[in-house]
């Protein structure tokens, strides 16, 4: 009986989420919140610039596993990656800043975060990341870069002074776009300040991500 009632309650929340969207009140139990978020992730309609489901899941695992608390995402798009990472930052008692240059897309990202009750954990910052990154205050322990490929090195240099030892830098599309970010990849793989490896969590885009750990 408890299982049936729990299922009915969850279904009610999912229907409310679909109908009311961003105005849906947060469920009263953690299990219901998690179930609604996972359903949102499962039913998310991906476009070309979205992170794949497996890549986004890897980001969530990295943040949650290392208990990172202050993160930056360069390139929000519609917020699929921010939702996944936001779940981990919320669990860790942390905060994510996601940066988007397009005001209209940034608003859509905000709406998606609000639908899954992550708008208090994830802050959407609108503007050119090369201008907004230096304005972020405090130290950070996690960075995900998925924006203009030729500017990856510039993004890193803009945020690097704020990275603590033990921080992680993750960059997307580092297989298919390796030539466009050669300076960035060469820096991460040769600098004594980082240990870096390129991984492929998903074959969906036939691409990969480079993960770099800041040693000092």
pLDDT of residue 203: 81
pLDDT of residue 48: 72
User: pLDDT tens digits, residue range 132-158?
Assistant: 999 999 999 999 999 999 999 999 999
Q: Are residues 2 and 58 in the same domain?
A: no
Q: Are residues 175 and 192 in the same domain?
A: yes
pLDDT of residue 7: 45
Could you tell me what percent of the chain has a pLDDT over 70?
Answer: 89
DSSP string, 82-144: HHHHHHHHHHTT-EEEEEES-HHHHHHHHHHHHHTT-TTTEEEEES-HHHHGGG--S-EEEEE
Q: Is the pLDDT of residue 87 over 90?
A: yes
Q: Are residues 174 and 82 in the same domain?
A: yes
pLDDT-based confidence at 79, cuts 50/70/90?
very high
Domain holding 1, by residue range, is 1-43
Q: Are residues 79 and 150 in the same domain?
A: yes
* Residues 192/142, Cβ–Cβ less than 8 Å: no
Could you tell me what percent of the chain has a pLDDT over 90?
Answer: 83
Q: Are residues 189 and 106 in the same domain?
A: yes
Q: Are residues 28 and 60 in the same domain?
A: no
Into how many domains does the chain fold? Answer: 2
The model carries a pTM of: 0.88
Q: Are residues 7 and 66 in the same domain?
A: no
User: pLDDT tens digits, residue range 35-67?
Assistant: 999 999 999 998 777 789 999 999 999 999 999
Per DSSP, the three-state class of 191 is coil
Q: Are residues 68 and 39 in the same domain?
A: no
pLDDT of residue 120: 97
CATH code assigned at 94: 3.40.50.150
pLDDT of residue 47: 79
Q: Is the pLDDT of residue 29 over 90?
A: yes
* Residues 52/202, Cβ–Cβ less than 8 Å: yes
pLDDT of residue 205: 82
pLDDT-based confidence at 4, cuts 50/70/90?
very low
Q: Are residues 144 and 118 in the same domain?
A: yes
């Amino acid at each position: 009986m408890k299982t049936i009632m729990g299922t009915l309650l969850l279904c009610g929340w999912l229907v409310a989420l679909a109908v009311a969207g961003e105005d849906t009140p947060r469920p009263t139990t953690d299990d219901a919140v998690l179930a609604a978020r996972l359903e949102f992730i499962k039913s998310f309609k991906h476009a070309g610039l979205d992170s794949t489901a497996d890549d986004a899941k890897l980001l969530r695992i990295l943040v949650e596993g290392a208990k990172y608390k202050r993160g930056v995402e360069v390139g929000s798009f519609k917020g699929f990656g921010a939702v996944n990472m936001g779940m981990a930052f919320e669990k860790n008692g942390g905060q994510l800043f996601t940066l988007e240059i397009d005001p209209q897309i940034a608003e859509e990202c905000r709406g998606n975060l609000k639908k899954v009750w992550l708008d208090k954990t994830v802050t959407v910052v609108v503007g050119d990341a090369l201008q907004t990154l230096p304005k972020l205050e405090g130290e950070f322990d996690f960075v995900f870069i998925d924006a203009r490929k030729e500017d990856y090195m510039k993004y890193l240099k803009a945020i690097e002074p704020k990275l603590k030892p033990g921080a992680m830098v993750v960059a997307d599309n580092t297989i298919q776009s390796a030539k466009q970010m050669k300076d960035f990849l060469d820096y991460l793989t040769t600098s004594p300040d980082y240990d870096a490896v390129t991984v492929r969590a998903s074959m969906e885009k036939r691409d990969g991500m480079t993960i770099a750990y800041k040693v000092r």
